[in-house]
Structure 1
Amino acid sequence: MRTMPTFPLRGADLAFSVKTFAAAVLALLIALWIDLPRPYWAMATVYITSQPLAGATASKALYRVLGTLAGAAAAVAIVPSFVNSPELLSLVIALWTGACLYVSLLDRTPRGYLFMLAGYTLALIGFPAVTDPGSIFDVAVSRAQEITLGIICATLVSTIVLPRSVAPVVAAKVERWLSDARGLSRDVLLGGGGSDADRAHRLRLAAEALEIDALATHLAFDRQADHHAVEGLRALRLHMQLLLPLLGSIHDRLAALDGHVGGELRALLRHLADWVIAADDREPADRLRTDIDALRPSLQGNSSWHQIMTTSLLIRLRELVDIAEDCRALNAAIAAGTDTSRVPLAFRTEQGIAPARHRDPALALWSAAGVVIAILVCCAFWIATGWADGASAPMMAAVACSFFATQDDPAPSIVRFAAWSLVAIAVDAVYLFAIIPAISDVELLIAALAPAFLLFGVLIARPQTTPIGMALGANGATLLALQSTYSADFQSYANSSIAFMVGMVAAVVLTRLVRSVRAEWIAQRLLRTSWDTLALTAERRGHHDRGAFVGLMLDRLGLLAQRFAAIPEDDRRELDNLSHLRVGLNIIDLRRARHGLTETALGAIETMLDRLAAACRGRGIGTGAMPAHLLSAIDVALLKTLDEPVAAAKEDALIGLVGIRTGLFPDAPAYRADSAARRSLVA
């Protein structure tokens, strides 16, 4: 077993631990007072539910209540119907748990906790009730009461006693992210952004944007959070997400113009770099926009690649000014608590109804199958041996397999959870058979429990040791099984503890056999899915909500960033440069131009998108590099677009085509109108 890591004690951690222990004691005392059959479940629920931030505790509490009620209702409906057929009952409970886990894994929001809990709650209630099915309704009701009591106590103490709001934490993360993004923007504008360190910085910002997004979901449950801040943060996060691929696009265009950046443009880039990084008293954005527009060349059918890239760069610089100004305005409005819907925004965005998230139905089904098999194997062992306390084995298999199902290889985490649960078993044994028998009143009992459970709370408060604290706190409270009278029996305790560990061991063994995969396999699967998404975007002619597409691709990017070390070197460069995301956004830019283009240009773009979709499908199944005929199709589409009469449509189409070309063919020779004309004749 690994030794427990040591960290300096912080006041916030200790305060959280004291609050959690107070809530647990309150829940236990109320449960004893109203004579609930298993008061220790109320105490354990506090340690399962409590989070250092009040909003996170409230959101988890709501979903835990709903999940418990759903699982309890399922127990009442299912157990009496199948109690005379234990094999069939085991199958039904296993399938219910697996189905709920499948939905939970697809949801990938805090709401997913509801479905996961509904799944294993049926196992927690149903398996112990097999020997006494007539009491299933009373057991389900009491379990719901005990858990709800624990949730209420945890939520009240968290939100009333020295509450830690989510809002300041999110605000600090957003401010730090914007500061880092301003620094990266300055580096890109001054010609940097292409080193390994810069790419790692860009990837880290993408991952941090997702962390902010995940943390912000708890704001709606935070009593101290302002409604305007919640709404404003949605708009700000969308701008933050769009900023990263925009910086990648600017870097690509500057790299393509290397050695051909004129003096006026170079001066503008330095001016813009100073403006982006400035904290206060900045030059008005409108003046910068005027300077940018003044340098834009007029494009014709015979325009050079240098002119095209310069125009494309200046358009992206205009977007950078707009997004940077919007981010500052929104962040200031959020800090002031004003209505962000009245903030005038310069950048055009399409806001989705909800953040899009990556979903993998096949992998979710695989994880669900793993928990079904683990439960059935434990049930088979229980039924075959006739073990009186064997119900704990399938219960713990259901809990362990569900809790860690989101990981590539859940087995190591289950092993660690089991190891620290074994420590909780040992600690409880000392309490039950050496300390508690000598205690005669509740005050002494609370004082005796305080040292261990305060330590558990400190461990939960720290991200590095949260799993350890959860294993010790939740299992320690559950296995301690405190009642109104002392009735501990060593043989019964040993049997239930052994059954508990059998379930954990079964979960580990079956997870290794059925579910464990390597991180690189998941990473390759995510990369293939990104290519498939690009193919679908091209086939749908860019009919993607811009915000939803960015959210989906950045969510996928965050999942890839967690597995960065397992990704092959060639694929890392695509990941660092956000190439999938940028190409997809450029396809969406083409959609904006469609209604203003002539049939000639539109036909060339349609042909290009068809070839792009086919090429992306090929990359999705690993068939090699992008084909040369796709580059030819892009150049032909550029040629046709440059002759377009409608300036706005030409601009949108140009942005999209240049972005697709530089994103997919960064090392290709410069576009030439005469070569494109010859290709057009061949086509």
Structure 2
Amino acid sequence: MPATARTASLPWSLLLLDPQKLLFSLSSFIAAAITLAIAFEFSLPRPWWALLTVYVTAQPMAGAFRPKMLYRLGGILTGATVSILVVPNLQHAPELLVLCMAAWTGLCIYLAVLDRTPRAFLFQMAAFSSAVISFPYLDDPADVFTTTISRVEEMTVAIVSVSFVHGLLQPWSVTPVIHGRASSFLAHASRWTREALAQRHTRLEYEHRRTLAADVTELGMMAIHLPSDQRPASAGRRMVLGVQKQLATILPLASAAANRLDMLSALAPLDPELARLVEDTRAWLAKPAELQYATGHELAIRCRKLAERKEQPLFWRDLLRSSLCVRMAEFIEAQVEACRLVQQLGSTPASQPKMKQSRERDKSFPLARDHGLAMLAGLATATAIMLYCTVWILLAWPNGSATAAFAALITCSFATQDDPAPVLGRYLGATLLTFPLAAFYLFAVLPRVDGCAMLIVTLAPALLAIGYIQAIPALSARALPMFSCLIVALGFLDRFIADFATFINVGLAQVGGIIATIAVAKLFRSVNVSWTAKRMIRGNWIEIGQMASMARPFRPAHWTSMAVDRLGQTAARMAVAEGSDALHAADGLADLRIGRNVIAIRRSLSTVPTPIQAALRDVLEGIAGLFQSRGRQGELLPPPASLLTSIDKAIGAMCVAEQAEPSHPALLALVGMRCNLFPTAHAPRIAGDA
């Protein structure tokens, strides 16, 4: 759809109320009403903070799952404990106190960015709560214990209320979400592979296939939420992880088959039998997943029979044909198994076939973690907090503590962004737009309100409208600053106070905190997305080099999943990187295929004769040197001619060996390496070409 058409249709789509989004907004409002009622009934000091916690917690875009109540409560208690231990003991040394609190917040953000699972909620809430509790009382810490208990009570009431109400009124199982995402992945993978086998894959499709890796990673994140799903889940965590592993296998196999077909077609026209097999595979991929599952087994058998056909003597094109057929067979088998598992995900528990028991005891899909990026986020957060507090103390600003608290809260919220400044700019804009509404409520509406029930009814239009905005993905980032501005400016207390000076000071504190956060973000956090993506690609190169090195332990079990995860993280950044950037030259799928070829060669070492072992070790040594050099220098260095010589020597040695099989895993891996590293090299001279 053209951009103008999408822009023209957007306002009309916003006018159509989505029942599910409306139910989300209504659930959040009911939770807010319950929280306010409890806060006023038990005379909690700051009901407005409890109300704000409701809407901070109820974020539908956090994986589209229920809030992780235990993690959030654990984070609140952790942050409160740190505040009680640190603030009173360092009250006579404000500089040291600020340093300790900044270091603690930076550590929490480091762990939150590093973790990348729902446990990150615990670390984020620990940073939030310690900042909100401590900073307003750094200049007067005498009542910090009482204040801490009050903040914990307010946040606990809010989190329990929103978890209960959303769980009661939105009893949607996570399983349909997982089933839908996995089905979408299979459909997209089938479409791309069908076009790739027709040799119509373009650069745009190349970028599209990389984004499929992000879906694989997100599927694993969804699986983590399964234990908290209220309904009897038709998909256990082990089943979802099984689907994820199959989808992760599909990606490199499909790209490998397309790569071999390109190279084979460049040498000569396909022979009739192979051409017919490719067309049948494309026709099979056009079928629905149910029919793919029913008819894929016979197609895979045809591929393997053609791959095992021996020709005497062997030519390079015979090796390419065998490699193509084997990769097509492996892709078809992985697609069939994925279709079976996805179909099982969508069925009811009673109608599900008994799942095959796997001997694998993997409990999770390994995630690639970058300590450097996490450390940068934590260090930037700690530095920003120290700067806020320094300016506040030097200027002796009465509302500086509130500004520091807001700034710390916003900094922690956007700590995972590569460059949070643009998002913070929209955050500031939404805050400024909400101030007139807050002023209207505070000075025109609330003076005529009497009692908690009337207050809740009066707030309903604003809270329901902003809650609906929060449920719209394109606008959800603007909802939180709108809630924050409205709720904090109204300042719900046990007794209504409408003071214009206080209203202006609170507004300036919010705006000042946002502006200070934007300034710090531009100084410390405006990291180019290409820099982040290059770090991930370098990490992948280093691991390939380590895996190919015979001097290092061979642990291939989790490498593919981590490489796919890195590819998924890189995909979003590649989408916004400049087209001329050298980053686009790094083919993550080619690296993924090379890594799998390294695994195949190392596993085959013990099954080949000693002379061939020496040739294979030379290839592995060359691969290790190449990728370690790429990792050290951070550049896509061209492979040396000596590596091509080693690969051709190993291919020749395997082809002339007794009982040489064109479909031997090591031989196929060598062919794959040559195709990926030297796609434009002339055909090697082997026994059949001599």
Normalization by structure 2: what TM-score?
A: 0.90
CA spacing shift, 1:428–1:545, aligned 2, 3 Å = farther
Q: 1:650 offset after TM fit, Å?
A: 7.2
Could you say what secondary structure the match of 1:437 adopts? Answer: helix
Could you say what secondary structure the match of 2:399 adopts? Answer: coil
- For 2:299 and 2:662, the matched residues in 1 are separated by 23
The number of residues matched between the two structures is 670
Q: 1:69 aligns with which of 67, 73, 77?
A: 77
Q: 2:138 aligns with which of 130, 134, 140?
A: 130
CA spacing shift, 1:647–1:35, aligned 2, 3 Å = farther
The letter of the residue matching 2:596 is: L
Matched, 1:356 2:366: yes
- For 1:647 and 1:453, the matched residues in 2 are separated by 73
Give matches, 1:248-647, under 5 Å.
248-258=255-265, 259-279=268-288, 280=290, 284-297=295-308, 303-338=314-349, 342-344=354-356, 352-539=362-549, 548-564=558-574, 565-566=576-577, 569=580, 571=582, 574=585, 578-620=589-631, 621=633, 622=635, 624-643=637-656
- For 1:408 and 1:255, the matched residues in 2 are separated by 37
Deviations 1:160-214 (A, max 9, x none): 114333322222222222122222233334x325322432331232333334344
Q: 1:613 offset after TM fit, Å?
A: 1.6
Structure 2 unaligned regions, length at least 5: 1-9
- For 1:82 and 1:195, the matched residues in 2 are separated by 62
CA spacing shift, 1:672–1:616, aligned 2, 3 Å = same
Task: Decide whether the 8 Å contact of 1:301 with 1:642 is kept in 2.
Answer: no
CA spacing shift, 1:289–1:314, aligned 2, 3 Å = same
Task: Decide whether the 8 Å contact of 1:350 with 1:547 is kept in 2.
Answer: no
The letter of the residue matching 1:596 is: T
Instruction: Tell me what 2:201 maps to.
Output: 194
Q: 1:534 offset after TM fit, Å?
A: 2.0
CA spacing shift, 1:56–1:287, aligned 2, 3 Å = closer
Could you say what secondary structure the match of 1:127 adopts? Answer: helix
Q: 1:623 offset after TM fit, Å?
A: 6.6
Task: Decide whether the 8 Å contact of 2:615 with 2:646 is kept in 1.
Answer: yes
* Ranges of 4+ aligned residues in structure 1 off by more than 4 Å: 53-57, 280-286, 297-302, 338-342, 348-352, 540-547, 567-577, 643-650, 674-677
Q: 1:308 offset after TM fit, Å?
A: 1.2
Deviations 1:214-253 (A, max 9, x none): 4443333221251634331211111111111111100111
- For 2:563 and 2:84, the matched residues in 1 are separated by 42
Task: Decide whether the 8 Å contact of 2:407 with 2:517 is kept in 1.
Answer: yes
CA spacing shift, 1:567–1:535, aligned 2, 3 Å = farther
The letter of the residue matching 1:303 is: L
Deviations 1:250-275 (A, max 9, x none): 01111121134221122222223333
Deviations 1:497-548 (A, max 9, x none): 3223222222111221122122222233333333223222222689666563
The letter of the residue matching 1:276 is: L
Instruction: Tell me what 1:662 maps to.
Output: 675
Comparing 247-256 with 610-619, which one deviates more in the overlay? Answer: 610-619
Task: Decide whether the 8 Å contact of 2:87 with 2:138 is kept in 1.
Answer: yes
Task: Decide whether the 8 Å contact of 1:596 with 1:649 is kept in 2.
Answer: no
CA spacing shift, 1:42–1:286, aligned 2, 3 Å = same
RMSD: 2.9
Could you say what secondary structure the match of 2:664 adopts? Answer: helix
Task: Decide whether the 8 Å contact of 2:173 with 2:233 is kept in 1.
Answer: no
CA spacing shift, 1:185–1:351, aligned 2, 3 Å = farther
- For 1:344 and 1:130, the matched residues in 2 are separated by 59
Matched, 1:18 2:32: no
Q: 1:114 aligns with which of 108, 116, 122?
A: 122
Q: 1:594 offset after TM fit, Å?
A: 2.2
CA spacing shift, 1:597–1:351, aligned 2, 3 Å = farther
Instruction: Tell me what 1:49 maps to.
Output: 57
The letter of the residue matching 1:407 is: Q
Q: 1:572 offset after TM fit, Å?
A: 6.1
Task: Decide whether the 8 Å contact of 2:21 with 2:471 is kept in 1.
Answer: yes
Could you say what secondary structure the match of 1:483 adopts? Answer: coil
- For 1:187 and 1:510, the matched residues in 2 are separated by 47
Q: 1:224 aligns with which of 213, 219, 231?
A: 231
Q: 1:244 aligns with which of 251, 257, 280?
A: 251
CA spacing shift, 1:489–1:584, aligned 2, 3 Å = same
Q: 1:625 offset after TM fit, Å?
A: 1.4
CA spacing shift, 1:90–1:192, aligned 2, 3 Å = same
CA spacing shift, 1:426–1:548, aligned 2, 3 Å = farther
Task: Decide whether the 8 Å contact of 2:322 with 2:663 is kept in 1.
Answer: no
Could you say what secondary structure the match of 1:562 adopts? Answer: helix
Structure 1 unaligned regions, length at least 5: 678-683
CA spacing shift, 1:540–1:496, aligned 2, 3 Å = farther
CA spacing shift, 1:273–1:551, aligned 2, 3 Å = same
CA spacing shift, 1:274–1:393, aligned 2, 3 Å = same
Comparing 27-36 with 218-227, which one deviates more in the overlay? Answer: 218-227
- For 2:73 and 2:384, the matched residues in 1 are separated by 26
Instruction: Tell me what 1:151 maps to.
Output: 159
The letter of the residue matching 2:670 is: L
CA spacing shift, 1:315–1:568, aligned 2, 3 Å = same
- For 1:244 and 1:430, the matched residues in 2 are separated by 55
The letter of the residue matching 1:268 is: L
CA spacing shift, 1:385–1:52, aligned 2, 3 Å = closer
Deviations 1:330-349 (A, max 9, x none): 1122222459894459xx99
| Overall identity of the aligned pairs, in % | 31
- For 1:89 and 1:498, the matched residues in 2 are separated by 25
Deviations 1:422-442 (A, max 9, x none): 334443233222221121222
- For 1:497 and 1:113, the matched residues in 2 are separated by 28
Matched, 1:92 2:100: yes
Deviations 1:23-47 (A, max 9, x none): 1111110121122221222211110
- For 2:618 and 2:312, the matched residues in 1 are separated by 19
CA spacing shift, 1:218–1:476, aligned 2, 3 Å = farther
- For 1:434 and 1:338, the matched residues in 2 are separated by 56
- For 2:556 and 2:361, the matched residues in 1 are separated by 7
- For 1:24 and 1:182, the matched residues in 2 are separated by 45
CA spacing shift, 1:388–1:577, aligned 2, 3 Å = closer
Task: Decide whether the 8 Å contact of 1:246 with 1:316 is kept in 2.
Answer: yes
Could you say what secondary structure the match of 2:87 adopts? Answer: helix
Q: 1:93 offset after TM fit, Å?
A: 0.5
The letter of the residue matching 2:455 is: L
